[in-house]
Amino acid sequence: MSHHIHFNESTQKHSFFSVAEKPWHNLGQIVTEYPTSAQAIQHAGLDYQVIKTPLYTQSGELDKIPVPDYFSTLRTDTSAVLGVV
């Protein structure tokens, strides 16, 4: 069975945590006490911002053409594109 848990190359950690018990997939961090919301976000590796940037397309080899009224959303920690809005 596949776990599909994100592995962050920068931190070398899986985006998962468990309280006191080892999860079935043996991934992520185990903490001893129930965390606050802010701590849970940090333990799970979700403590990054999402930013909206202009969206461009390419015509030919070099021409960048702005796509009006559309933006890409990026994770600030990895610069991974999350989607288009």
Taking 70 as the threshold, does the pLDDT of residue 1 lie above it? Answer: no
Return the percentage of the chain with pLDDT > 90, whole number. 40
Span 32-64, pLDDT tens digits? 899 999 999 988 888 899 999 999 998 877 788
Exposure string for 37-66, b = 16+ CB within 10 A, e = fewer:
eeeeeebbbeeeeeeeeebeeeeeeeeeee
Which tokens in the block code for residue 31?
């903490």
pLDDT at 73: 98
Q: Where does the pLDDT of residue 20 fall: very low under 50, low under 70, confident under 90, or very high at 90 and above? A: confident
Query: How high does pLDDT run on average in the chain?
Result: 87
